[in-house]
Amino acid sequence: MKMTKSMANILLLITSVFWGSGFVVTKIALDANVSAGFINFVRGFLFVVCVLLFFHKKIFKMTFKDFKVGLIAGMLNFGGFITQTIGVMYTTPSNNAFISSAYVVIVPFIAWIIYGKKFQVKGLVAIAACLIGMVIITGISNKEINMNIGDVYTLICAFFYAGSIVYLGYSTSTTDFSVVAFMLAAVQAIGGFVFFLLVEKGQLSTVSWSVAIVPLLYMGIICSFVGQTVQVVAQKHTSATSAGLIMMLESVFGSIFSIAFGFEPFTVKLIVGGMIIMLSIILMEVEFKPLLVKKKETAKYKGETLNNSSENVDFAE
């Protein structure tokens, strides 16, 4: 059965729900006294096992070039995961979701600086709107700066994710996804384990395993393996703009899950700030040039139709 664009978009929507729920699930694991490093270790380890189970033939044929590309991508990806996980320890899942989604408006700047890709003016407007949204949602004002450390870590996470996305977009075109996925998972597992041992001193004695086990399994299997695999399969059957607009909804679902699970109240600043951030992301994703071209073509067609009508009238007279 051939996948249609509508089916692909539905799959991407499901993926964004998985990723949105990941913010709350991570918070539950942290509240059960599982450290950020150990969460990333387990998540990466389960991802590795799943990728090997389904794509081991391709992974065992990995070249040194594939390894190098995957390693760099994995390090950038891990930087985003670990700072995001630490961030949600000190802020709400909604703040974590919306601020980390700012990577969408950071991507064009990094692509311009590193790869020389032409920068669009709309990027400046989107960045300004995104910053205004973050000011509202995090509670920063002229009188008092109360942006907490969790929001700062989450903003750093957005830069890591932006770098990872740019690198994956420009440097992995000749590398099979399964190989890249394996390297992303492996670096996350190893990096998480090292962070757990050296920074967090390997403390697990206070963990409430009865509470933590399901969130850990969910993050590794559903959010990481299923989410990323479905994303790659579905994106082949839809447009980049549609995919971007749908996938950014993870921040909205993250906020919905956060409120539903009682991690934070339903507030006006959350709605207003979140909407502004979402609008800035939409601005970055929508291509206006095709719309302008279409508008010009429509105007031209109407003009030609009007001229033809005038000629017909003259002929009749």
Query: Residue 45 has what pLDDT?
Result: 93
Classify 190 as helix, strand or coil. helix
Cα(81)–Cα(115) distance, integer angstroms: 24
Cα(130)–Cα(155) distance, integer angstroms: 12
Q: What is the DSSP string of 30-66?
A: HHTT--HHHHHHHHHHHHHHHHHHHHHHHHTT--HHH
Amino acid at the residue 50: C
- Model confidence pLDDT, tens digit, residues 63-74: 888 888 888 888
Vertex 103 angle, CA 110 and 191, to 5°: 90
Residue ranges of the chain whose pLDDT lies below 70? 1, 117-120, 123, 134-135, 137-147, 169-174, 232, 235-236, 239-245, 248, 281, 284-317
For 20, counting Cβ atoms within 10 Å of its Cβ (0-12 exposed, 13-18 middle, 19+ buried), the class is buried
Q: What is the DSSP letter of 199?
A: T
Structure tokens at 31: 């509240």
Q: What does R_g of the chain's alpha carbons equal in angstroms?
A: 23
Cα(135)–Cα(141) distance, integer angstroms: 7
Query: Residue 276 has what pLDDT?
Result: 81
Cα(155)–Cα(162) distance, integer angstroms: 11
End-to-end CA distance of the chain: 60
Query: Residue 217 has what pLDDT?
Result: 94
Query: Residue 143 has what pLDDT?
Result: 47
Q: What is the DSSP string of 240-281?
A: HHHHHHHHTTHHHHHHHHHHHTTSS---HHHHHHHHHHHHHH
Query: Residue 302 has what pLDDT?
Result: 56
Q: What is the DSSP string of 97-122?
A: HHHHTTHHHHHHHHHHHHH-PPPPTH
Question: Model pTM?
Answer: 0.70
For residues 14 and 230, the answer to whether their CB atoms sit within 8 Å is yes
Cα(250)–Cα(23) distance, integer angstroms: 9
φ, ψ of residue 61 to 5 degrees: the values are -100, 15
What are the Cα distances from residue 37, in Å, to 41, 79, 152, 252, 260? 6, 11, 18, 26, 27
Query: Residue 316 has what pLDDT?
Result: 47
What are the Cα distances from residue 95, in Å, to 181, 219, 288? 27, 19, 29
Cα(267)–Cα(261) distance, integer angstroms: 15
Q: Give 219's contacts (C-beta < 8 A, 6+ positions apart).
A: 22, 25, 26, 29, 39, 42, 43, 46
CA-nearest of 184, 150, 178 to 164 is: 184
Query: Residue 221 has what pLDDT?
Result: 92
